[in-house]
Structure 1
Amino acid sequence: MPKTIITCAITGAVHTPTMSDALPINPEMIAEQAIAAAKAGAAILHLHARHPETGAPTVDPEHFSEFLPAIRAETDAVINISTGGNPVMTVEERIPAARHYSPEMCSLNMGSINFALHPMADRYKSWKQDWEKDYLKGSEDNIFRNTFTDIRMVAEALGGPEHRVKFEHECYDVGHLYNLKFCLDRGMFKAPIFLQFVMGILGGIAADIDNLVFMKRTADKLFGDAYQWSVIGAGAQQMRMAAVGAQMGGHVRVGLEDSLYISRGELATSNAQQVEKVRGILETQGNQIASPDEARAILGLKGSNEVNF
């Protein structure tokens, strides 16, 4: 069986500072936790930025500059810069950092969804930052827009010869696989591709094993053997979906972007703790963990010598 790539999504744009003291909300925390996650076994670091004063999601390239060099200096992990931003941003707002830093990988959402976070707001009576409650409550009326025009814009901006970014094609439901097939047939992307099955977000497909099997079967039908894939089990299903996905031949993603917990009812102390746990599960069931250079070979990446940071 090929080696299994562990991706760690360090901070994201879903969770807010009130929810966990471990959530990285400033550059120093992002760098420290990313480096520790890489040392624990994460071959790929999926990165968002946070405003250093408020902890709010940001896509300002200057905010990325406050942690990218430190991570690069201390690890050889593959850097994946999100083009997801947060659900209320346009594509034009979401891609400047990726265009500026030209990383080896970027995420790319493959369709629009109702990206709903508002039920989380009901769990908290007080907030560390003024923006948090309205940010979460407002998501009840959000459409996370990723139209075919948006997808094409990102593909043209980052996938061409200037940047040669490899996309983590984030598929929140089975229809997103068909969107990707359409784009692939139109020449927006070149095989082999890398799929990320994002499961468990309210508005997308639920994180259960039947759905994972269905997503994998659909991808086989659409893409044959010209793809690699990984799975996210957002929330409580994080480790279970990772274990099953790896048994099925997939790669895995964990991190505080996707779940704040290490076990039911117990908050994780860091991203590295989640990486250590999933690595232990995978190695126990016989999976071998890919190094960063092995991940580069598996995914066909351009190499860390061609990034701009």
Structure 2
Amino acid sequence: MRAYHIESAGKNPIVTSLPRPTPTTGEIAVEIGACGLNFADLLMVKGDYQDTPAAPFTLGMEVAGTVTDLGPETTGPAPGTRVAVFGGQGGLAEHGCFPAERAVAIPDDMSFTDAAAFQIAYGTSHVALDHRAKLQPGETLLVLGAAGGVGLTAVEIGKLMGAKVIACARGPEKLDVARQAGADHLIDAKTQDIREACKDLGGLDVVYDPVGGDQFKAAFRACNPEARLLPIGFASGDVPQIPANHLLVKNLTVMGLYWGGYLKFRPEVITESMQTLLHWYSEGRLTPHVSHVLPLERADEGLELLRTRRSTGKVVITMED
């Protein structure tokens, strides 16, 4: 089978031929239709991600496809079931073996492209805003990086939850994507003062931040008393240092969110969240935004789109030629 593989630490991934894997106990074999790219894939290439596997390994954290076989003592999902799986690795290949407990059956009308773009982006935003921040109707939510993979879903979900959503992104094209996702107000991070713009809109109750750096600092200073701040990631490369004395003065709460971490200590949080999200999708209330769909041979190009921030929403790799 073809796979986008890292042979050893420090080497760049390449498309190569590997033996088709066989599922072990507790695993399912999946014929992969599509795999969503994530910023974490870029970090894995450099060895900087918190869950980077030991080399050799195949990149690709989230996939959609069809179950083809079950490992020993594995009861399902049955062969023929269409599933989405967060495997953490192994997704950028024609076939893969993944823990059966992580497989989620997807609706018949959900394409593999949509399903591969769904779990991490929507899951992260829903768990962050609902389970962690407990976003309430009428509150003001600022989404930084609002046209990116997770940011755009935070705009969409925040609006569904009844918040007033402020979307912050770089440039009019990206802001228009956020507007179409439901944003009430737009801030251009290239030309506007984020702090002043947010204060002019009444201040912030919840901040959703996959960017970090100066944007986090500006948002922090525009928070209302008892606001909640959610560091999701640090696409800027700058991990901000949080002044604890300012937390005290305004009674602010900073709460980290690593979606994949719940698989290890509270998997029911992800299971219940995904049930809600798939229900919303089936009702037509969620519309995954995929700016680029590329074949496996162009996986390098897909990662470069993420690295240079030229994509909006998700980039998805398909296994078709």
Task: State the TM-score, normalized to the length of structure 1.
Answer: 0.31
Structure showing greater relative contact order (alpha-carbon pairs closer than 8 Å, 6 or more residues apart): 1
Task: State the TM-score, normalized to the length of structure 2.
Answer: 0.30
Greater share of helix: 1
